[in-house]
Amino acid sequence: MSKFSIDIPRPNFFKHRTIAEDSILVTVDSGEWAILSSKEFECLCHNDYSDPGLREKLYESHIYLDKNNWDSYIETMAQRWKEVFTRPTLHIVVVTPRCNLRCIYCHASYQQESNSSMSIETASKVLDRIFEVAPENFAIEFQGGEPTLNFETIKFMVEKSKELTEKYGKKVNFTIVTNFTSALTDEKMRFLIENSIDVSTSIDGPQFIHENNRNRNYPGGFSILCQKVHRFTELWKEIRDDEPRLSAMLTATKPVLAYPRETVDTYLSLGINDIFIRPVNPLGRGEQDINELTYPIEDFLEYWERVIDYIIELRGKGFSVAETHLVILLRKIFFRENTYMDLRSPCGASFGQRTYNYDGKIFTCDEGRMLEQEKFCLGTVDVKSSSINSSKNGIHTFISSLSELSYCEFCVYKPFCGVCPLLNYKTSGYTNTTIWNSRRCKLYRGMFDIIFRKFINEEKARKVFGDMIIESI
Amino acid sequence: MILTCHSKVVSKEGILLFSQRHISEFNLHVIPGKGDEILIDIKLIKDDIDLNEADLNNELLECEFLAMRYKQTEDLRKAVVALILSENRLSQENSHE
């Protein structure tokens, strides 16, 4: 036992929520949890541990602490903190703000007329800054606008990184987010495949919805996307021995909420088995008050649950398909994983991730560059990373994201959730005003409610959840 | 709407937590009642909010429960932080900068 004396045995600081009939979820800050019956919960509240089954359940999940499990609780908490108090593992590089599409919700506020792009000189400095702070294993993600419109810079960075990884003994994983239009030529696809760059795109559901959202200035966009996806798969099989890897994200606008099954069918028809579904955020053009973008978050949750139900049904028939948002949340619940930057406390802003804009400015995160506010600018690539690390803007944003500063501290889902100070700022003008029942709060509380309810009540869901988690390892 | 509770049942920490939970929906003022009674005067921020008195009373008790637990575990939570930091359990690899 350590030199700090603490008065145990006794219950930990736990939070609770009734999930289903006679099923109360209880969590503690380490991310451990238990489902108790009403009677068991009452015993917990009255410090009645006479039932050995209950005592074991509470002891194993560190809801009840004594001298025998105290050290393991400290170790579990330390491990959790280690995952967040680390060096930046995700580096987003915005190689150009230009885009050849005009998506109605564009969070990055595409710029069609701009001639601005990241120069090779700036890209070289970006790499210097990244390698100064990155840990042994890290990721570089190319974004835009449409990043393939500045492919020379991407090629330069990938090639230069090979020298730097050898020099510093580090390993980098590359990702690119691209819209699969005519800008993505065969030559570019070959480069991405040969250099093992993970590719992600956006598919907003059935063709008529996707084209309404993303192709108003680009007729036939969905057909071109299908051709490009098919061609990408063909080239992959020519060049590599392993299975083609392509992921896609769906930004849910109001029309798609009526088509959960069709959403999944569209993805499967393109050979994409991993779908990442998210609602529209009030960033960039996403904050417009137009019909497609404004809907109650409850409607999105209903749609999401119907997608999950359909995926469970398909998997029962042997189809391999998963929803990535669900998998991320399952890993948080069952593995206590705390590495997903967008949903943890503190969030990844500045210390877990950084975004390097085409003009050489460094922002706290992708949302920071989308908001384009000086408040979230850490500096520029012209200064050493030691100045960036001690940026007041970075520290302020980081501290604002602590769940302990708001009602989140008392929420049963606190260990799995997280604050976004930038969305707070966007909606309220302040980074540290996380509000219970805000749109984001309702979103994640709703998703966790759905997951735990299905886990408790549905055997098929339990099996599918388990399979998805194993497949994700 | 006015909620009635007793100072022996609900503490100021519980009321504070309750107000924090509903910060986007209403402001509240605490008014002393008769004897141990406390009156919580709720004023809506927006017109389109539908409040149920029974639900609010339950939430107030839940907030009190949480606030009480939070207070009772203050030393435990501080000890966790102190132990993790004092035993240097967060050591990271070195920078080459």
**Statement: residue B86 has pLDDT above 90:** no
Measured in whole angstroms, how far is the alpha carbon of residue A470 from the centre of its chain? 19
Confidence (pLDDT) at A263: 96
Q: Do B90 and A14 touch (CB under 8 A)?
A: no
How far does the CA of residue A444 sit from the closest CA of chain B (Å)? 16
- Give percent of chain A above pLDDT 70: 97
Quickly tell me which residue has 């302990």 as its tokens: A404
Give the angle subtended at the CA of A324 by the CAs of A414 and A294, to the nearest 5°: 75
**Mean pLDDT over each residue of chain A, to the nearest integer:** 92
For chain B, the first-to-last Cα distance in angstroms comes to 61
Which residues in chain A touch residue B69, judged by CB atoms under 8 angstroms apart?
11, 13-14
Which residues in chain A touch residue B73, judged by CB atoms under 8 angstroms apart?
11-13
Cα(A175)–Cα(A196) distance, integer angstroms = 9
Confidence (pLDDT) at A82: 83
Cα(A293)–Cα(A281) distance, integer angstroms = 9
Helix axes A459-471, A297-316, angle to 10 degrees: 80
- Cα–Cα distances in angstroms (integers) from residue A211 to residues A75, A101, A221, in the given order: 51, 11, 7
Task: Give residue-wise pLDDT tens across range B35-76.
Answer: 989 999 999 988 878 889 999 999 999 999 999 999 999 999
Q: For A349, which DSSP code?
A: B
Which H or E element spans position B31? strand B26-32
Measured in whole angstroms, how far is the alpha carbon of residue A135 from the centre of its chain? 20
Q: What's phi and psi for A264, nearest 5 deg?
A: -65, -40
Cα(A268)–Cα(A246) distance, integer angstroms = 12
Q: Do A12 and B87 touch (CB under 8 A)?
A: no
Q: Do B79 and A85 touch (CB under 8 A)?
A: no
Cα(A207)–Cα(A220) distance, integer angstroms = 10
Which H or E element spans position A335? helix A324-335
Measured in whole angstroms, how far is the alpha carbon of residue A461 from the centre of its chain? 22
Which residues in chain B touch residue A4, judged by CB atoms under 8 angstroms apart?
79, 82-83, 86
Residue from A436, A438, A440, A445 whose CB has the most chain B CBs within 10 Å, to mutate? A436
**Statement: residue A20 has pLDDT above 50:** yes
Q: What's phi and psi for A461, nearest 5 deg?
A: -65, -40
Give the angle subtended at the CA of A5 by the CAs of A43 and A27, to the nearest 5°: 35
Q: Work out how many CB contacts closer than 8 A connect A with B.
A: 84
Assign B96 a pLDDT band (cuts: 50, 70, 90). very low
Q: How many CB atoms lie within 10 A of CB A132?
A: 17
Assign A109 a pLDDT band (cuts: 50, 70, 90). low
Confidence (pLDDT) at A111: 62
Q: Which residue has the higher pLDDT, A404 or B79?
A: B79
Choose the closest CB to B97 out of A82, A385, A437: A385
Task: Give residue-wise pLDDT tens across range A177-196.
Answer: 999 999 999 999 999 999 99
Q: Which residue has the higher pLDDT, A287 or A376?
A: A376
Per-residue pLDDT averaged across A321-330, rounded? 96
